[in-house]
Amino acid sequence: MLSIKEYQTVATIAGPLMLVEMVDEAKYGHIVDIELGDGSIRHGQILQVEKDKVLLQVFEGTRGIDVKRSTVRFLAKPLELAVSPEILGRVFTGLGEPKDGGPAIIPEKRLDINSRPINPYARDYPNEFIQTGISSIDGLNPLVRGQKLPIFSGAGLPHDQITAQLARQATVLGKAEEFAVVFAAMGITFEAAQFFIDDLHQTGAIERAVMFVNLANDPAIERIATPRFALTAAEYLAFELDMHVLVILNDMTNYCEALREISAARKEVPGRRGYPGYLYTDLATVYERSGRIKGKKGSITTVPVLTMPEDDKTHPVPDLTGYITEGQIILSRPLHRKAISPPVDVLPSLSRLKDKGIGEGKTREDHADLYNQLYAAYARGKEAQELATIMGEAALSEEDKKYMTFADKFEAEYVSQDYYENRPVEATLDLGWQLLSMFDNVELKRIDIKLIEKYMPKFRKANSEQD
Amino acid sequence: MDTTHVSVWREEAHVRKVLAMDETKTGRIVKVAGPVVVAEGMTGARMYDVVRVGNLNLIGEIVELRGDLASIQVYEETTGMGPGEPVTDTEAPLSVELGPGLIESIYDGIQRPLPLLADTEGEFMSRGSVMPGLNREKKWHFKPTIADGTKVSHGDIIGEVQENTQIVHKIMVPSGVSGNVQNIAEGDYTVDQTIALCAAEDGTESNLKLMQEWPVRNARQIRSRLTPNRVLVTGQRVIDSFFPVTKGGTACIPGPFGSGKTVVQHQLAKWVDADIVVYVGCGERGNEMTDVLMEFPKLKDPRSGEPLMKRSVLIANTSNMPVAAREASVYTGITIAEYFRDMGYIVALMADSTSRWAEAMREISTRLEEMPAEEGYPAYLAARIAAFYERAGRVQCAGNPEREAALSIIGAVSPPGGDLSDSVVQATLHVVKVFWSLEGTLAYQRHFPAISWLTSYSFYKDSLRDCFEDKDQGREMEKLTVNAMGLLEQEAELLEIVRLVGAEALSPTDRLALETARSIREDFLHQNAFHEVDTHTSMAKQYEMLKTILHFHKQALSAIEAGVETTEIFKLAVREEIARAKYIPQADITKIAKIRETIEEQMKQLRTSAVA
């Protein structure tokens, strides 16, 4: 172990950054402790070393730090998380220190929170269907183990309820396996965090949860480390303790803003909307830690939540996220206003890994054709709805009217469900057939005729009996 | 680049390597900022030399020189690195190893074999690993195709190795070597054993091996460029029939996320009629690469019946792997592709996504504190992109025997927010000849491939007719596509009218045009990549399908003239058969011609009942 060196040579403090001079043996990415004149300790990380000058970011902010009386201690190691099976059921700060008043973790080992990338060859393809009990996800955008599927939300939309429902209901069909929930809160309100924690308490899932909480009034720069702590804990649980881990990162927009703050303080050339040019790479090092590994039992499934400023999907944060994650669940304000809950905007939502997770032996053979048809019909219904708002319903053709009725029913019966309703996937699929039974076979071009003949008759029959 | 220049480079490298034995040039790190490291004491180092950085021996490349200071982009994570650590110049540019063993390989951005890394170092990538690109132990059976005493020079084929059941690996004389071949013999060799001697006129002798090296940033030499003239058949209907790309052509697929770029790229990698496919996953998703890695060994090439893997080389530098290696991955891929082209093969390279490559350039440029151009991208962005796409082409290969070959490049572009005014898209559109525009709105309707028929274009449309052995059929196909495109354009106009005044205002023929256009979209352009039959459609079947749809249109037109109501026409049972024609297997394509007979019968009935 290297000896720890102390310096009192702080030269500049600006924004969240500090420049320390006459340092030797400083290493890029390593951490420091900063002891203030009053004896309190802050934490920092090395952003750049040039000869004997070291640039630091201070996680807790620089307020109250002075140039003369501060001592910087170079700890000669990267940021680490102490892990042991005891971390389950605990609450930590955004910097990985116990926050629940419990004892410090007696570490089995310490892990570098930056981890290392998974060798693409060692990955195993995510193909196990996760039943969430939410029709708009299970039926149309199925989630699979090892996937990263973000929720694109907006201010005032119920993403907290959805993540809580996911944490409550997500199961793999026909299997009882060790699971865990890792929750990283970045800059969210006390209420939002507490809602989630209370929900976990109610279901007893708190015993199998690890939480890293950085609230809105906690230091902003700390948020840069928070998701990495969470994912390090998740990797430990998944790949060393064989658990299936669901990671919820809420809210990634705040994370990116913290990153922007550092970048601006370093006077880097900004990319779009002032976010740094390396935002894509940085986000990738967070999101890409999800997955499965060949020969390991556990898996990491990540659901990042982000709020789109002005519900704008082309804003850099959702945009770059969408390019990394395997799909997205988009929440819609118009649907929310119509009291459709969860207000999942089905058309632009997508799960890229669905095709490997569904079908015979996983969900049901008709799943793929069915969602293709539901999508196509709903898209056409939405088109008709738009047309109707311009010209009035009277101007629509009979066909268009039918599709419009379908779209309304689809939203009200299929998308909408109670936050405590856990709908089995079979029920979701049958509901799809039920809705499509208003069309003739010739309209159902996306479904194999054999499947129509097998599944449709009972719904048709039910319809005719009603008539 | 001309030949003399390259041979000078080789000799110099050789001389320098000899010198390096005595005194290895070593500098010291003075600055570490993310992936860029600055070292002092680097006098004599050259731009783009590969260096080993720090105590961990990480691989890097010199990207800027200022006095004795060298700025280095490091291909691995630099955490834990600090001033004072050593930097060693290897005195050679970033090169790849070319030889038997490339096929079926999976490399990272700087040609380290990922399966071997996984075996030796575990599931997570560790740092500073050195791993040659080609297996040094494996023996290959070499058969000479020339005799001792033959005078050879650069590019000449001297023998063959049957690399797998599908690929014959031609062994070529490397650049800068010429003379008389001696001691060439059939036998089993490893890649770095000498298979023959080559005695130059000045008396110097070089060893010929199965393997050679090439610096990735230089294009490999050719004899001459030719104009691409044959369609690269992809089995994707919207591409082959409407926006074809050629063997040796270039294409780009820009689109917002979720519009299906990667699925299109995967489909192309699976089904193009090329001899060799090089797939570069540049800064994309790990799970998607895994999908390719798991599917390719299972999928069968429709032409040979062999697994697709037997003609593929994969390069996987996912988004969370080091950014500098991502920058290099595209060059590694194209150099391997060029090498197979030089053997006389038809090669296709897919790069997914070039935007991530451009972003890697931007990140390095920012760390070098270069003056940025648009959106922070370096000013040389457009030049780099153009130079990359220019490495494609149909060529007369260097060396004997004379051979023609082609290398196509298909690059995905991921513009922010799907905005096509993005610098990378614009720089790419300047150089490529085919533009497949992916649209979010189509993707939302689950119309895949979401290639917009109104904004996409191809400069190679004239080559389409040569896809058919029967010249008449080729000409007819050309007419069919023009007709179909006309209907689709008419649809766009008519929909505007419908939006203003409602569908009731349309004449019966207009209504028919709308229905036919819908049929073209849904029954022809829409293609399900995950359906076992629909995933690939032969040219012959594309012709039959399009002909049938337009046949219905023609018949319906005359029925309308005879006074038949459009609603009656739209209700015809045969329309379901047309819709399901895409699921008819290749072996049964005569059934599609039969649908046309059914159309005629059913129309006839309508006409007679209308008269009655």
Between A221-230, B67-76, B493-502, the lowest mean confidence (pLDDT) is in: B493-502
ipTM above 0.90, yes or no: no
Distance CA B450, CA B254 (A): 11
Of A115, A120, A284, the CB nearest to B290: A120
Mean pLDDT of chain B, nearest integer: 90
Q: What is the dihedral of CA B528, B531, B532, B538, to 10 degrees?
A: -20
Query: Which of A19, A45, A74, A123 should be substituted to probe chain B, the one whose Cβ sees the most B Cβ atoms within 10 Å?
Result: A123
The DSSP bridge pattern shows strands A71-78 and A30-35 to be: antiparallel
Closest C-alpha among A46, A79, A28 to residue A228: A79
The DSSP bridge pattern shows strands A209-215 and A123-124 to be: unpaired
A21 vs B: CB within 8 A: no
- Which residues of chain A neighbour B281 with C-beta distances below 8 Å? 120
pLDDT of res. B1: 40
Closest C-alpha among B435, B437, B549, B545 to residue B487: B549
The predicted-structure confidence for B166-192, as pLDDT tens digits, reads as follows 999 999 999 999 999 999 999 999 999
CA angle, A18 as apex, A14 and A21 as ends, to 5°? 130
Distance CA A109, CA A98 (A): 16
φ, ψ of residue B406 to 5 degrees: the values are -150, 150
3-state SS, one letter per residue, for B107-176: ECCCCCEHHHHHHHHCCECCCCCCCCCCCCCCCEEEEECCCCCCEECCCCEEEEEECCCCCEEEEECCCC
Q: What is the dihedral of CA B111, B112, B114, B118, to 10 degrees?
A: -170
Contacts of B251 (CB under 8 A, 6+ apart): B245, B408, B409, B410, B411, B432, B433, B434, B435, B436, B458
pLDDT of res. B140: 96
Neighbours of B596 (CB within 10 A): 17
Most confident of A75-84, B5-14, B123-132: A75-84
Q: What is the DSSP letter of A344?
A: B
Residue B284 · residue A120 · CB < 8 Å: no
- Shortest CA distance from B502: residue in chain A: A395
A18 vs B: CB within 8 A: no
- Which residues of chain A neighbour B40 with C-beta distances below 8 Å? none
Subunit contact B83:A49, Cβ cutoff 8 A: yes
pLDDT at position B10 over 50: no
pLDDT at position B352 over 60: yes
Q: What is the DSSP letter of A119?
A: P
Q: What is the dihedral of CA B372, B373, B375, B381, to 10 degrees?
A: -100
pLDDT of res. A466: 66
Of B320, B323, B417, the CB nearest to A319: B417
Q: What is the three-class DSSP state of A456?
A: helix
Subunit contact A395:B503, Cβ cutoff 8 A: yes
Peptide bond into B449 cis (omega under 30): yes
Q: What is the mean pLDDT of each run of 10 residues along chain A (467 residues)?
A: 79 93 91 93 94 93 91 93 94 92 92 92 91 94 94 94 91 80 94 92 89 93 94 96 94 94 87 86 94 94 94 91 92 94 92 87 91 91 88 82 94 94 94 94 86 90 72
pLDDT band at B503 (very low <50, low <70, confident <90, very high): confident
- The letter for the amino acid at B73 is Q
B438: β partners:
B451
B128 vs A: CB within 8 A: no
A304 vs B: CB within 8 A: no
User: pTM for the full model?
Assistant: 0.90
What's the rounded mean pLDDT across residues B269-284? 92
Q: Which token pair is A173?
A: 């069909």
Of B291, B294, B375, the CB nearest to A272: B375
Q: How far is the CA of A162 from the CAs of A133, A169, A257, A418, in angstroms?
A: 11, 10, 24, 10
Distance CA A15, CA A13 (A): 7
More confident residue, A271 or B113: B113
DSSP B450-513: -B-TTT-EETTGGGGGGGSSSHHHHHHHHHHHHHHHHHHHHHHHHHHHHHHH-GGGS-HHHHHH
Taking every pair of Cα atoms in chain B, the longest distance, rounded to a whole number of angstroms, is 102
Subunit contact B445:A294, Cβ cutoff 8 A: no
pLDDT at position B6 over 70: no
Separation in Å, CA of B432 to nearest CA in chain A:
23
Query: Which of A19, A113, A121 should be substituted to probe chain B, the one whose Cβ sees the most B Cβ atoms within 10 Å?
Result: A121
Distance CA B209, CA B191 (A): 6
Distance CA B355, CA B341 (A): 25
A318 vs B: CB within 8 A: no
DSSP A38-53: TS-EEEEEEEEEETTE
A125 vs B: CB within 8 A: yes
Q: Which of residues 222-251 of B touch A (CB under 8 A)?
A: none
What domains does chain A contain, in order, with CATH numbers?
5-77 (2.40.30.20), 81-356 (3.40.50.12240), 367-466 (1.10.1140)
Q: What is the three-class DSSP state of B380?
A: coil
Q: Is the dihedral of CA B470, B474, B477, B479 positive or negative?
A: negative
Neighbours of B544 (CB within 10 A): 21
pLDDT at position B5 over 60: no
Helices (H), A268-362: 279-287, 316-324, 333-337, 354-357
pLDDT of res. A463: 75
B145 vs A: CB within 8 A: no
- The letter for the amino acid at B40 is E
Q: Which of residues 265-284 of A touch B (CB under 8 A)?
A: 268-272, 277-278, 280-281, 284
The predicted-structure confidence for B419-467, as pLDDT tens digits, reads as follows 899 999 999 999 999 999 999 888 887 889 999 999 999 999 988 888 8
Distance CA B93, CA B50 (A): 5
Separation in Å, CA of A92 to nearest CA in chain B:
25
More confident residue, B357 or A355: B357
Separation in Å, CA of A436 to nearest CA in chain B:
16
Percent of chain B scored above 90 by pLDDT?
69
pLDDT of res. B157: 96
- Which residues of chain A neighbour B498 with C-beta distances below 8 Å? 387
Percent of chain B scored above 70 by pLDDT?
96
pLDDT of res. B43: 87
Separation in Å, CA of B397 to nearest CA in chain A:
34
- Which residues of chain B neighbour A124 with C-beta distances below 8 Å? 290
CA angle, B96 as apex, B93 and B99 as ends, to 5°? 145
What's the rounded mean pLDDT across residues B253-258? 88
